[in-house]
Structures are given as structure tokens and as C-alpha cells.
Amino acid sequence: MDSKSTRGLATRAIHGSSGRDAFGSPHTPIYNTTTFAFRSTADLLDVVEGNKPGSLYTRYGLNPSIVALEETLAGLEGAQQAWAFCSGMAAESALFLTHGREGVVCIGDAYGGTLELLSSQLPLLGIRTHLILGSEIDRLDALLAAGAKLVFCETPGNPTLELIDIPALAARVHAHGARLAVDNTFASPVNQRPLALGADFVVHSATKYLGGHSDLTAGTLMGSKELLAPVWNWRKNLGSMIAPETASLLSRSLRSLVVRVRQQNATAQLIAEAMARHRGITRVMYPGLPDFPGHDLARRQMDGYGGLLTIEVSGGGIAATRVADRLRLFALAPSLGGAESLVTQPCTTSHHDLSPEERRRRGISDAMLRLSVGLEDPADLIADLEQALR
């Protein structure tokens, strides 16, 4: 183990890349260039043929701003390799097209875009996909025995925060010679590191906690060098590369990731406890509450309980809409992980396109509001919820 991988997470977030520039900048600046010039054809061929590391062409990812970001990302998840992408969906698409062609099984709640890609679009290419609920996990062995080679899950899931036991799932998937990919967007590497728990891939919408300021769109896929090597050509030729400006902005954001997420964990815990005591709330879903069904599992596989929680408002869907519309600090917006607190009503946003029966089957009620806790003062956020509930 090299000295870099034994450093703490906050240190790795700041000193995770070896990139410095010739002028002594403490971090890699923006290399806002599409291509790089060589002194000779022999030098150019050395890079093209992979004999020497070097910068070549930005869409290939061979740009110092992008390489520096990828080194830091890999260090945070304990991955051998990270590839950066222009969005979380671009990272997922490259994963499915490279490693999911023999069939993909998605377990539990996943982001709506992921569900649409898997259920409506990949089948157009002849890729067999199966969407099963966490409660239907008994179907997994048969699907893997029938040939599916990639299992995908999101934990905590959206919007119920349902948790999946990553080590147990990884063992089951590996017994069939298949691979496990975990979308770690909700937890962030501060709270959960799936590769260390047995997963083969980690995917992130870096648009969320990694970016952390609601001002960039990006994604990343991480894993072993061997498994990520074939993804490189797909990213290159699908053209789903992150821009150098965005890569630099994301590296900037990562330097504060640990303090941001730990604060969001602490504030979310306070809000969850306040909402659990509130008469206008019938249920609070948050892994940090001792009576949450996944609490013991969260204690085992997570280092923090996260900045997302879901509350169920008494009075049903209409009452929940009224509360969402009356919140002042929580902005009504479909994203998460930023410095600003956000609220969504899943039945009108992420899960709007599912039929009411399918929402019910997935345990998603109209009365649910999902809160993404930002970096405001906890007392102000609780006061905002209390005035809206009144």
C-alpha cells in the first residue's frame, strides 16, 4: 500500500493528484485546450502508443485537468482507476454498454433516468434488462444463472432511503461470475465506499455531493484498472468526456467534500429527529434514526447516515404539495447534494412517470417529501419546515 492510500479521506481530497504546473500552482489549473503539441513524431507516437504518459487530446481524457481530477476521485473511493464523464448518465451508459451487454439486473430503487435507460432504451439495442425490487431479491439467482453479468443498485435508494447489504449482494453476484456496480451518489465516498465492501464498480452523479454547489454536471465510474480499461474507448467514441473547466471546478469542490458532507450528515440527523417528534409528520425515513429498518445495516456499512431524508406529511398528497410550496429556504428543485437545501415531492418529480400502482408497489406515497439538506444553519431549516407544516 503506498503512502497516499493510507492518508485520511480529507487529505486525499486535497492532495489526491500528483499534478502541479510549471509555475508552482498548488493545484492543477484549467488546461483549456483541445489538443497538445509535440516536439517530434517520435514523441507523439510514444503517447499515442501508450509507451509514455502524456497529454494528447481532450476528448480522450488526456488533459492534465482531467487526469488530476481522476486521480483524486480514485483516491476517495479507494479505486485503482476513475474515469470522469460529462454527466452521471454518461458514466452509467458507458458502464452498461461495456459490461452490461449480456444482461443487467437492477435491484431496488434507482434514479428515474437509470430506470428509463434500462427499461426503455437498452432493450432497443438487444440488451436484456431486469428491474427487481429489494423485496424480490430471491429472483436474482435465476436471472444470473440465465446469463446476466452485471448487477446494478443504488444504496441508500431514492426516495425511501432503503439500504442494500453490499457485502452480501457482492458475494451472491460473484458466486455467479457476475459483477456488481453501486451508484454511490446519495452516500458519497465520505459515508460509504462500496469497492471496499466488495463491489466491482462505483458510479456517481458528480453533479450532486461531489460537485456540491449545484453549479456543475459531471459523472464518474471507478473500479479496477482491468475492468475500466475497456470503458476508455466507449467514453472516447461516445464523446462523453468532461470539459477541462468542469474537471477543474469539480476538483475545487472535492477539496471541501469531507467537511461539507459531515456537516450535512449532522444537520440531517437534527432535522430527522425534529421531524420524528412533529405531530404533522406520520413517518421519517432516515438511516440515522434507531427505528429506521436499515439502521443496523447503515451502522455496519456506512460511516455517516447522509444528508437526505424523506418525510411523510399527515393529510396525504395535497397536504404534502402545500408544504413543499410553502417552504422558503428549501427550494423546490429536483436535485440534491448542494449547499442549498432542496425539497422534492417524488410523485411529482423523480417518480412522476410511474403509474400510481407502480409507485405503491415501490412503497412511494404521494405524501412523501424528500429533503436534501444543505449547509444552512440547522435551526433555520427546522424553523422553515415548522412554518410550512403549520
Catalytic residues: 59, 111, 183, 208
- The CB-nearest residue to ligand PLP is 88
Please tell me the count of residues contacting ligand PLP according to CB under 6 A. 13
Residue 240, interface with ligand PLP (CB under 6 A)? no
The C-alpha angle with vertex 375 and arms to 9 and 340, in degrees rounded to 5, equals 115
Please select the residue that binds ligand PLP; options are 113, 280, 293, 378, rule is CB under 6 A.
113
Closest to ligand PLP by CB, 19 or 244: 244
Phi and psi of 57, rounded to 5°?
-155, 130
Please select the residue that binds ligand PLP; options are 66, 68, 89, 94, rule is CB under 6 A.
89
The SS3 assignment for 185 reads: coil
Closest to ligand PLP by CB, 207 or 301: 207
End-to-end Cα separation, the chain, in angstroms? 55
Residue 108, interface with ligand PLP (CB under 6 A)? no
Residue where the block lists cell 417528534: 277
The SS3 assignment for 65 reads: helix
- Of 329, 366, 328, which is closest to residue 347 (Cα–Cα)? 366
Residue 293, interface with ligand PLP (CB under 6 A)? no
Closest to ligand PLP by CB, 86 or 375: 86
Residue 183, interface with ligand PLP (CB under 6 A)? yes
Residue where the block lists cell 498548488: 26
Residue 111, interface with ligand PLP (CB under 6 A)? yes
The SS3 assignment for 141 reads: helix
Please select the residue that binds ligand PLP; options are 70, 71, 154, 162, rule is CB under 6 A.
154
Please state, in angstroms and rounded to a whole number, the distance separating the CA atoms of residues 121 and 292: 35
Q: Provide the minimum distance between the beta carbon of 186 and ligand PLP in the complex, in angstroms, as a whole number.
A: 6
Contact window for ligand PLP (CB under 6 A) among 181-189, 230-238, 255-263, 303-311? 181-189
CB atoms within 10 A of CB 135: 11
Helical axes 378-389 vs 257-277, angle rounded to 10°: 40
Q: 205: which strand partners?
A: 219
Q: Provide the minimum distance between the beta carbon of 4 and ligand PLP in the complex, in angstroms, as a whole number.
A: 27
- List residues near ligand PLP by CB under 6 A: 87-89, 111, 113, 154, 183, 185-186, 205, 207, 217, 219
